[in-house]
Amino acid sequence: MSETASPAIHADLPADLYGLVAEFDTQEGVEAAADAARKAGYQVMDAYTPYPVEGLDEKLGFTPTRLGWIVLAAGIAGALGGFFMQYYANVVFYPLNIGGKPLNSWPNWIVITFEMTVLFSAFTAGLFMLGRNGLPRPYHPIFNTPGFENATRDRFFLCIEARDERFDLQGTRSFLEEQSPLRISEVEQ
């Protein structure tokens, strides 16, 4: 469902509400809350932790990325492009007989073929990662959460966004209160 259609679903919500954020002081607390939220049917949520938490992305319902396959395809395209660029230059466009070697002397082309593979793979990975993450993004509504600077130190945050189909301000707040957070904050855009 598109973001423009979500206000019609939640017509009773304030237009500038981004979501509800629950703050926890332990890793186990945010993991249990994320697991419970997923089981309750919430789908548009995210967690913010001071360090990577193993398995939290599965509890949030994130699917594995396909970036690896895209990078592999770009690497193969780079290798083929590098090889055939040299083939065209040495065999078709400007053939030179050097020391009686064949025009298609592919062992000489291994280094450039490898470098083109790495170049295409690296640029594809970097650009797709930036695009998929929505970067550069100097501002995000989650930064408005009171005490969010502690997400880099010792606090764990779970945000259920207002564009979730199951989001109801009072119902979601009561659901988050059942998870025993330190506090719950409404976050504006």
pLDDT in tens, 62-89: 988 889 999 999 999 999 999 999 999 9
Rounded distance between C-alpha atoms, residue 187 and residue 144, angstroms: 6
- The CA-CA-CA angle for residues 175, 24, 188, to 5°, reads 65
Task: Quote the mean pLDDT of the chain.
Answer: 90
Q: What percent of the chain lies above the pLDDT cut of 70?
A: 94
Q: Is residue 22 within 8 Å of residue 176, measured between CB atoms?
A: yes
Quick one: pLDDT at residue 96? 86
Q: What is the pTM of this model?
A: 0.73
Quick one: pLDDT at residue 2? 41
59 pLDDT higher than 60: yes
Domains belonging to the chain, first-starting first, are 6-64+140-188 (3.30.70), 67-132 (no CATH)
DSSP 141: G
Q: What are the beta bridge partners of residue 188? A: 17
Alpha-carbon radius of gyration of the chain: 25
Quick one: pLDDT at residue 65? 87
Task: Tell me the per-residue pLDDT of 1-34, one tens digit each, with 9 for 90 and over.
Answer: 444 444 445 667 778 899 999 999 999 999 999 9
Quick one: pLDDT at residue 73? 98
Residue ranges of E strands in the chain: 17-24, 45-48, 156-161, 183-188
